[in-house]
Amino acid sequence: MDQDNPVGMTASAFVAVSLNPPLVSVCIKQGSWTWRRLRMREHWLECSVETEIEAGDHDIVLFRLHRAAAVDGIMPLVFHSSDFHTLAPIGSVS
């Protein structure tokens, strides 16, 4: 949240990289205004930028996770087939 306004972005890939140390990577469009804003704030994943790698018009950002949490009742938002979707818990889809 930024002055009571939600702040977020779509990352084109979110990948678990390592369990020890706990690392994940995301691909973010270079020059993303939202990414610049999010880098200056606390995140819902407590992490720090380990390294950034230029890859075409995107940067691959490697994060070191310090703490992560899930909130009951809030499902992840997924961008697939040019649209946003939520995921259903396993066993809830007929």
CATH of the domain at 35: 2.30.110.10
Could you tell me if residue 8 is inside a domain? no
Could you tell me if residue 6 is inside a domain? no
Domain hosting 41: range is 14-67+76-86
Instruction: Express each pLDDT in 24-38 by its tens digit.
Output: 888 888 887 777 776
Low-confidence ranges of the chain (pLDDT < 70): 1-2, 6-12, 38-45, 69-77, 89-94
Could you tell me if residue 5 is inside a domain? no
pLDDT score recorded for residue 27: 83
pLDDT score recorded for residue 6: 65
* 3-state SS string for the chain: CECCECCCCCCCCEEEEEECCEEEEEEEECCCHHHHHHHCCCCCCEEEEEEEEEECCEEEEEEEEEECCCCCCCCCEEEECCEEEECCCCCCCC
pTM of the model as a whole:
0.58
Could you tell me if residue 7 is inside a domain? no
Could you tell me if residue 18 is inside a domain? yes
Could you tell me if residue 34 is inside a domain? yes
17 within 8 A of 60, measured Cβ to Cβ: no
CA distances from 81 to 27, 78, 85, 86, 88 (A): 18, 10, 9, 13, 17
Domains of the chain: total = 1
Could you tell me if residue 9 is inside a domain? no
Could you tell me if residue 93 is inside a domain? no
